[in-house]
Amino acid sequence: MKVINKPKISIILTTYNGQRFIKDTIDSILKQTLSDFQFIIVNDGSVDETEKIILSINDDRIEYYLIDHVGHANALNYGLSKCKAELTSIIDHDDIASSEKFQMQFDLFNKNNNVGVIGTVYSVINEKGKVLNRINVPLVNIEIKEKLLYRDVICHSGVMYKTKLIKDAGGYNQKYDVASDYELWLRIVNKTEFFNIGECLMRIRRHKLSQTSPLKSFKNNNKCALLVLNDHSCLVPIEKMYVKAIWEIIYGDVKVGRNRLLSEICKSITPFGTKFKYLILSLLNRRAINFYFYFNPLRRINALVKRTNQ
């Protein structure tokens, strides 16, 4: 009987009209220091030269599938159905992975069986590959889960997760469009632990035609994020109902959110200091509120002080 060895990891790259950058993305995968992988490329009905570029690359690890255009989430689910490895990594057709990324994530999974999803700090690049900024995200499970109540802090392009965990959860839901990965994290938030690598291992390209770029439509992105959060509002403890108002301020109607927040603050049993903090936040504009919840400078300073004292 012939024994078929499973690859160490499976990689899913979905693409729709990705001719401009997909060659660079594929090259970054094929140059990984961990070379034992299954590389699944799902062409989601591209009408440009994407297929021609993919077929010009000769590598036995690549499995290419051309499907009708079904949308990003459904294409991901198609790729997920083809995965053979216990671990799966995702990459978008315009992003670049550092050569050691797979190995670092793979090693971390072997060291901690409780972790089911591993992301990474990443940098944002423009169309020419110039680094615009570095996006720092919470690293440890407890902080990641706390932040997930406000926004997505797991970079989907570059994430690695346990294949069975995601398949058992039902995969991605196209209903949530560009936020389908965010909805997935919230769906499994109480079933596993999360971790983000503190080293910058991904370069995420932002441009008008990128698969999941906020440059496509801020309004649509905000709408999808708010839909995700409202559909998972059961995750919010009773004593933190004001969080729902903050969602509205960040992603929806600022005025409606402010009124809700003021109402929740008045009837909340939370400490006075917390009430005062959110009262001040309710008076700020959306950009200032986004800055607070995304970067939380006070928490960063406190964390720095703790590390210094250790």
Over the stretch 89-110, which tens digit does the pLDDT of each residue have? 999 999 999 999 999 999 999 9
Do 98 and 164 lie in one domain? The reply is yes
Above pLDDT 90, what percent of the chain? 65
Residue 97 within a domain: yes
pLDDT band at 245 (very low <50, low <70, confident <90, very high): confident
List, for residues 157-179, the tens digit of each pLDDT value: 999 999 999 999 999 999 999 99
Domain co-membership, 46 together with 147 = yes
The yes-or-no verdict on residue 113 having pLDDT over 80 is yes
Range of the structural domain that residue 45 is part of: 9-205
Q: What is the mean pLDDT of residues 217-232?
A: 88
294 inside domain? yes
Residue 209 has pLDDT above 70, yes or no: no
Looking at 182, 205, 228, the residue that finishes a domain is 205
* Concatenated DSSP letters of the chain: ----PPPSEEEEEEESS-TTTHHHHHHHHHT-S---EEEEEEEES--SSHHHHHHT---TTEEEEEE----HHHHHHHHHHT--SSEEEEEETT-EE-TTHHHHHHHHHHH-TTEEEEEEEEEEE-TT--EEEEE----SHHHHHHHTTTS--S-STT-EEEHHHHHHTT---GGGGGGHHHHHHHHSTTTSEEEEEEEEEEEEE--TT-TT-TTS-HHHHHHHHHHHHHHTGGGS-GGGTHHHHHHHHHHS-HHHHHHHHHHHHHH--S-HHHHHHHHHHHTS-HHHHHHHHHH-HHHHHHHHHHHHH-
Task: Tell me the pLDDT tens digit for each residue of 56-88.
Answer: 999 999 999 999 999 999 999 999 999 999 999
Mean pLDDT check: name the lowest of 29-43, 48-62, 231-245.
231-245
Q: Are 67 and 196 part of one and the same domain?
A: yes
> pLDDT, tens digit, for every residue of 263-309?
776 766 666 666 666 666 656 555 565 555 555 555 555 544 454 55
Q: What is the arithmetic mean of pLDDT over 188-211?
A: 90
pLDDT at 111 over 90: yes
Same domain (yes/no): 139, 27: yes
Same domain, 279 and 178: no
The reported pLDDT for the residue numbered 256 is 85
Domain end position, chosen among 160, 182, 205: 205
Q: What is the pLDDT of residue 237?
A: 84
Query: Residues 151, 268: one domain?
Result: no
Between 287 and 253, name the one with better pLDDT: 253
Report the pLDDT value the prediction gives residue 309, as an integer from 0 to 100.
53
Q: Which among 159, 187, 205 is the end of a domain? A: 205
Residue 201 resides in a domain: yes
| 213 part of a folded domain | no
190 shares a domain with 54: yes
Band of the pLDDT at 1, cuts 50, 70, 90? very low
Tell me whether residue 215 is in a domain: no
Mean predicted confidence (pLDDT) in 32-44: 98
Residues 135 and 255 in one domain: no
Q: Is the pLDDT of residue 30 over 50?
A: yes
Domain count within the chain: 2
pLDDT at 2: 45
Is 57 part of any domain? Answer: yes
- pLDDT class for 222, splitting at 50, 70, 90? confident
Domain assignment present for residue 231? The answer is no
Domain CATH number, residue 45: 3.90.550.10
Is residue 227 a part of any domain in this protein? no
Q: Are residues 253 and 184 in the same domain?
A: no
Residues 193 and 258 in one domain: no
Give yes or no: residues 175 and 251 share one domain. Answer: no
Report pLDDT for 307. Answer: 47
- Mark whether 290 and 142 lie in a shared domain: no
